[in-house]
Chains A and B, each alone.
Chain A
Amino acid sequence: MTITSNTSVTPAAFLRRWWPWIAIIAAALILPFILPPFRLNLLGRFLSLGIVALGIDLIWGYTGLLSLGQGIFFALGGYAIAMYLQLDSLEPGQLPEFFGLYGVKALPLFWQPFSSPWFTLVAIWVIPALVAGLLGYLVFRNRIKGVYFSILTQAALLVFFNFFNGQQKLINGTNGLKTDTASFFGQMVGSDAMQRNLFWVTVLLVIAAWTLCRWLTTGRFGDALIAVRDDEPRLRFTGYNPTAFKTVVFTVAGALAGISGALYTVQSGMVSPQFMAVPFSIEMVIWVAVGGRGTLIGAVLGAVLINYAKSLISEQLPETWLFIQGGLFLLVVTALPDGVVGWWRQGGPGRILAMLGSSPASATYPGLDLDPDVLAEKRAIEGRARAQESGASQPSGAER
């Protein structure tokens, strides 16, 4: 309290406020030189999955739309970059190798714009966004929600999965498109130096995506999203059109999924219809649930930590991972409804410490001082005092 009301910033206050960012930037700069290339590559991949998770947090955590079809947009972004890389590493007049296998002589029309890097950079997020926007608009306009929405997105996912699997002559069907042997700026995409650069690009884009989501969720727009989740009819009778809000936010989540898919593709070396497999899209939802719905940072942490755990555990005990993942999901559903980050913010670690016998320091009687009711009262009084202190100058300050 004394720190925030003080206008001059002491170094200690600066550190206290910015330490998470300082830690992130330091880690991003140092990790590429201390982690072996294989581990760094894994971290980069999982960070890029954090972007699709951010999108899911936006539509599910804030707006209450549980989509089981984010794999569609993820894969579309992946295919866009893979098509560009396939074309970029060819000599003039050549065709990507797989076309020969199926007797295709000329480049299909829809491949042609992907020889342009600029078109590709835009297509990576605009194509998924358009597909998401169209699909979302049709679904939301017809007021399909809840579990019907989830089923519909999963059905759409299956349609896309089967379509991509069957198109050998257009996009190499089941085999997918390889990117690791393609060249980019004269370097192989799979090379260590290139992977290190891609890691940094991923870190920057995760931060950008987080900033975007943060901006979307803090103001009145974010309040409207929460209102859609909590009481959509009320919002409608206040003169809002929920269809517009849901379509906008679903489109943004689609664009984020596309960017995520493109980054994942270049770091894992290929894109295939497996990106649109049903279990993968469900896993995305689990990352967000475990990390913490409606927390944003929880989505990124969930994606990175669960996937890192998956790869570490699968190396040692390959058969156990699915059980562990299922157990994690059960744990979140039964004990941690707000995920790990939600639990942390509600003072969970302190409760565990108290359970283990080391009680936090208290000024008066611990039995009184640490009573949950007393603590709640104290928080309420402090909150009121703060509100009065900041007064009308900050009428809608951060309350979350």
Chain B
Amino acid sequence: MKPLLELQAVSVSFDGFLALNDLNLALAPGELRAVIGPNGAGKTTFLDVITGKVRPTRGDVLFRGKSLLGISEHRIARLGIGRKFQTPRVYQNLTPRRNLELAVKGSHSPFTLLLGRLSTEQRDRVQELLAVVGLEANASRPAGSLSHGQKQWLEIAMLLAQDPDLLLVDEPVAGLSDEETERTGELLRQLAGDHTVLVIEHDMDFIRELDCPVTVLHEGHVLCEGSMDEVQHDPRVIEVYLGVEDDDVSAGAPSAVASDSGSHQEIP
């Protein structure tokens, strides 16, 4: 099957520092994929490249076979790529309902917003999403006064309102209670299939629960891919997460790099 999203040998250099280094990754339509990696592995830069915020120094990003390079952020979003930020980003001074009314799928030109009205379909969709994320009772107070978990959910609802083909979700369960985390996992699993979902997360239990292929990023490239169990027992992953004893550094590090260059050839 043709991949929905494909990153081909993408490198991003910030003044000589390689935030992404020859990164290759492909997502099949309908796939749910988790991306993990230690701090500074380039996870957020990776999303910035896909959504057009950062232009890669080298390499190409293909969405449905077409290059995204040089396309502005809002056009990429309209092509069907939605993004949830690491910290919840909602419009604090607007109510949840109005937040969703801005995000709901449809024309986003100033003149439509000024002269057009929301269709019944759009209104129903907003109402439905408020119910999905349990914010019906709080629909009319400023989003800034919601709790952290409610803001996370509101932002996820905004993402759903956009109805993108590809959802990029950055740390959706940071700061959520166990119960909320469980519900978020359930929601993401439901979405996969109709949508392609890429989740970046630190919470290993959450990722295990998602039960999906995992990609490990390290120093801007793909270290390995596989199921959570495979990944967790991979010595290279253990090494980058836990570090190695001092004498192994000189011997271990080069071999890890060598086997990496092998590992991205496995990727379609």
Per-residue contact bits, chain B 81-96, to A (CB 8 Å; 1 contact, 0 not): 0110100011111110
What is the distance, in angstroms, from B126's C-beta to the closest C-beta of chain A?
7
Q: State A224–B106 Cα separation when bound (angstroms).
A: 14
Interface residues of B in 119-144 (CB under 8 A from A): 123, 126-127, 137, 139-141
Known contacts: A234-B91, A241-B108, A245-B110. The answer to whether A227 contacts B123 by CB under 8 A is no
Known contacts: A216-B114, A227-B102. The answer to whether A392 contacts B127 by CB under 8 A is yes
Q: State A216–B109 Cα separation when bound (angstroms).
A: 14
Q: Are A387 and B140 touching (Cβ within 8 A)?
A: yes
Residue ID in chain B nearest A239 by CB atoms: B77
Interface residues of A in 206-249 (CB under 8 A from B): 216, 219-221, 223-224, 226-227, 230-231, 233-242, 244-245, 248
Q: Are A234 and B140 touching (Cβ within 8 A)?
A: no
Known contacts: A223-B101, A227-B102, A230-B91. The answer to whether A238 contacts B140 by CB under 8 A is no
Residue ID in chain B nearest A241 by CB atoms: B74
Q: State A226–B97 Cα separation when bound (angstroms).
A: 14
> Per a CB cutoff under 8 Å, which of A235, A245, A383 touches B140?
A383
Known contacts: A237-B83, A383-B140, A396-B101. The answer to whether A219 contacts B162 by CB under 8 A is no
Known: A224-B110, A387-B139. 17 other contacts (CB 8 A): A220-B98, A220-B113, A227-B91, A231-B90, A231-B92, A233-B53, A234-B90, A234-B91, A236-B73, A238-B82, A238-B103, A238-B162, A239-B77, A239-B108, A239-B162, A384-B140, A396-B97
Residue ID in chain B nearest A397 by CB atoms: B140
What is the distance, in angstroms, from B75's C-beta to the closest C-beta of chain A?
8
Interface residues of A, count at CB 8 A: 31
Q: Are A237 and B73 touching (Cβ within 8 A)?
A: yes
Interface residues of A in 352-392 (CB under 8 A from B): 380, 383-384, 387, 392
Q: How many pairs of residues, A versus B, come closer than 8 Å at their CB atoms?
A: 92
Q: State A338–B123 Cα separation when bound (angstroms).
A: 32
> Per a CB cutoff under 8 Å, which of A233, A238, A384, A395 touches B137?
A384
Q: State A223–B93 Cα separation when bound (angstroms).
A: 9
Q: State A241–B73 Cα separation when bound (angstroms).
A: 8
Residues of A within 8 A of B89 (CB): 231, 233-234
Residue ID in chain A nearest B109 by CB atoms: A244
Q: Are A224 and B127 touching (Cβ within 8 A)?
A: no
Known contacts: A238-B102, A244-B110. The answer to whether A395 contacts B91 by CB under 8 A is no
Per-residue contact bits, chain B 146-170, to A (CB 8 Å; 1 contact, 0 not): 0000000000001000100000000
- 22 example contacts (A-B, Cβ-Cβ < 8 A) are as follows A220-B98, A220-B113, A226-B93, A227-B94, A227-B102, A230-B91, A230-B93, A231-B90, A234-B89, A236-B73, A238-B77, A238-B108, A238-B158, A239-B78, A240-B102, A241-B74, A245-B110, A248-B110, A387-B139, A396-B101, A399-B98, A399-B140
Q: State A226–B83 Cα separation when bound (angstroms).
A: 20
Q: State A75–B233 Cα separation when bound (angstroms).
A: 72
What is the distance, in angstroms, from A319's C-beta to the closest C-beta of chain B?
41
Main secondary structure of the interface of A (DSSP, over half): helix
Interface centre among B51, B74, B118 (most CB of A within 10 A): B74
Residues of B within 8 A of A238 (CB): 74, 77, 82, 102-103, 108, 158, 162
Q: Are A223 and B73 touching (Cβ within 8 A)?
A: no
Known contacts: A223-B94, A224-B102, A380-B141. The answer to whether A395 contacts B126 by CB under 8 A is yes
Interface centre among A223, A237, A384, A387 (most CB of B within 10 A): A237
Q: Are B93 and A383 touching (Cβ within 8 A)?
A: no
Residues of B within 8 A of A241 (CB): 72, 74, 108
Residues of B within 8 A of A234 (CB): 85, 89-91
Residues of A within 8 A of B139 (CB): 387
Q: Are B102 and A221 touching (Cβ within 8 A)?
A: no
What is the distance, in angstroms, from A292's C-beta to the closest C-beta of chain B?
15
Residues of B within 8 A of A223 (CB): 91, 94, 98, 101-102
What 8 A-B pairs come out closest when comparing CB atoms? Answer: A239-B77, A221-B113, A221-B114, A239-B78, A220-B113, A236-B73, A234-B89, A240-B108
What is the distance, in angstroms, from A304's C-beta to the closest C-beta of chain B?
27
Known contacts: A387-B139, A387-B140. The answer to whether A395 contacts B110 by CB under 8 A is no
Interface residues of A in 224-280 (CB under 8 A from B): 224, 226-227, 230-231, 233-242, 244-245, 248
Residue ID in chain A nearest B92 by CB atoms: A230
Residues of A within 8 A of B51 (CB): 237
Known contacts: A239-B78, A387-B140. The answer to whether A224 contacts B113 by CB under 8 A is yes
What is the distance, in angstroms, from B92's C-beta to the closest C-beta of chain A?
6
Q: State A221–B110 Cα separation when bound (angstroms).
A: 7
Q: State A227–B114 Cα separation when bound (angstroms).
A: 15
Residues of A within 8 A of B158 (CB): 238
Residue ID in chain B nearest A379 by CB atoms: B141
Residues of B within 8 A of A399 (CB): 95, 98, 140
Residues of B within 8 A of A227 (CB): 91, 94, 102
Q: Are B97 and A395 touching (Cβ within 8 A)?
A: yes
Q: State A227–B144 Cα separation when bound (angstroms).
A: 13
> Per a CB cutoff under 8 Å, which of A224, A226, A237, A384 touches B77?
A237
Residue ID in chain A nearest B159 by CB atoms: A238
Q: State A336–B98 Cα separation when bound (angstroms).
A: 27
Q: State A45–B114 Cα separation when bound (angstroms).
A: 31
